[in-house]
Amino acid sequence: MKVIQVDDYNDLGKKAAEIIIQYIKGHANAVLGLATGSTPKTTYKELIRDHNENGTSYRHIRTVNLDEYVGLDQNDPNSYHYFMKKEFFDFVDIPENNIHIPNGMAENIYDECKDYDRLIEGLGGVDLQLLGIGRNGHIGFNEPGTSFDTMTHIVDLTMDTRKANARFFNGLDEVPTQAITMGIKNILMSKSILLLASGRQKAEAMAHLLNEKEVTSAFPASALHHHQNVTVIADKEALSLVYSLERRA
Ligand code: GLP
């Protein structure tokens, strides 16, 4: 696991975008695994800026998002579909057919999970997966206790996660109780992974990941220690409880 420390949230976006752009330059039809949440926002902003200034094209890029809330329509401002449109897709030249996000309104959400796995397989798997991390170590919506063998599945969100995400809604009651998420096995099947973390509120999670190195389903992000090509990009605050940079590289 390689760790890159940056100064702050803006620099996090610049560094992550630089790595993604570099990858796209060599792989014009790459499959990108994308994430939502506050953390990747500056990354998307930088990708858009680069698209406008340097013309990096997404015409042949395919994307698969990690997760979506169950029960939220694509046009609901809190859905991850909506987030992705407003934060990224509306501003680059990616064809709509190349964009894939689990459908939280599917008639049969269990079939939707199986279909999503088939879809990812059909695309040839994810080349570069962008990840955030929850305060409890969740990745995607894989909460503590999730088996590392899981493919796309339905999760009951923990109260901690619902509270953390309540800031986007008009109160906790409105935060959905379930989500569809790629599983930990899906994530580990990606060819490369970029994990982003910013701010003091992620410091405990980063300390858990980088100091302890214990691999346990009680801390889902620890599964990443099983992957050969993970780059963590985190700012100083997020790394403030990590003992030594040398030990982490
Ligand atoms: C949500 C998302 C995750 C995200 C995490 C952290 O629960 N499902 O994919 O990584 O929250 O979010 P944030 O970046 O807003 O801290």
Task: Compute, in angstroms, the gap from residue 141 CA to the centroid of ligand 1.
Answer: 8
What residue ranges of the chain have pLDDT lower than 70? 245-249
Listed in sequence order, the residues at least 6 apart from 97 whose beta carbon sits closer than 8 Å to its beta carbon are: none
Residue 26 pLDDT: 96
The pick from 165, 167, 198 for probing ligand 1's pocket by mutation, whose C-beta has the most ligand atoms within 8 angstroms, reads 165
Residue 10 pLDDT: 98
Residue 132 pLDDT: 98
Residue 133 pLDDT: 97
Residue 161 pLDDT: 87
Beta bridge partners of 156: 178
Listed in sequence order, the residues at least 6 apart from 177 whose beta carbon sits closer than 8 Å to its beta carbon are: 70, 156, 157, 162
Cβ of 37 less than 6 Å from ligand 1: yes
Return the closest-CA partner of residue 89 out of 102, 77, 76, 98. 98
Listed in sequence order, the residues at least 6 apart from 55 whose beta carbon sits closer than 8 Å to its beta carbon are: none
| Minimum CA distance residue for ligand 1 atom 10 | 132
Q: For ligand 1, what atom is nearest to the CA of residue 157?
A: 7
Longest dimension (CA), the chain: 50
Cβ of 102 less than 6 Å from ligand 1: no
For the stretch 75-133, pLDDT in tens is 999 999 999 999 999 999 999 999 999 999 999 999 999 999 999 999 999 999 999 99
